[in-house]
Amino acid sequence: KLLNVYANYRNHRKIVVIDGKIGYTGGTNIRDDHLGRKQRLSPWRDTNVRIQGGAVTALQNLFLSDWRYSINDKHDTNFYLTKDYFPSFDNGGGVAMQVIASGPDNSNESIKECMVKMIVSAKNSIKIQTPYFIPDDTVMGSLKLAILSGVKVEIMVPKKIDHVSVHYASMGYINDLMALGATVHIYNGFIHSKVLIADDKYLTLGSCNMDIRSFSVNFENNVVIKKKKKVL
């Protein structure tokens, strides 16, 4: 089998922007298995978010940056600064939201750092959904500290697997957390959601798995949401 030279530094982001006014992001790719059309991995579970308001501007800007790079665009940035691409918004929705991105083009691992901040700041509960659980030392240490501090940590991973080696690696980390008191839920199918909720108040979701590759090698995007009332 030939070596896949494109395995690293891939764009793993999932972004849809419609008329500059409506945005979608989350875990879903446009392919048959993500649409539940492959029986081997069914039922497939994913999580996405529909966005309206000022956060769409940030999502549009991220898409545009990737698009311009991919086509070697020579237009001046002012070419895109029109109401067709970036309409104005009334930011009175009452939900605080931030779009964050990370990738090998930036030394800051912004999405991982956001997750760590949420984990170490949690007082009561942490809930995680991820298809692959291979955290680095910082994330793993943060989760262990949270459990030892009395925070209830729940992790949901899939029963059906698409990569055997990744699955067994994930189970090693999960067993370590279970030994400390974490609760693990096994989804009876394939769960592709990438979600972290802290204290039922702060939520991040998007394209970033809780694994080392997503943290530092892939180009990823997430949103962070704080709602006035409980998220879930």
Which residues are designated catalytic? Answer: 12, 14, 19, 192, 194, 199
Whether the Cβ atoms of residue 222 and residue 206 lie closer than 8 Å to each other: yes
Q: What are the distances in angstroms from CA 200 to CA 30, 119, 183, 209?
A: 30, 12, 16, 20
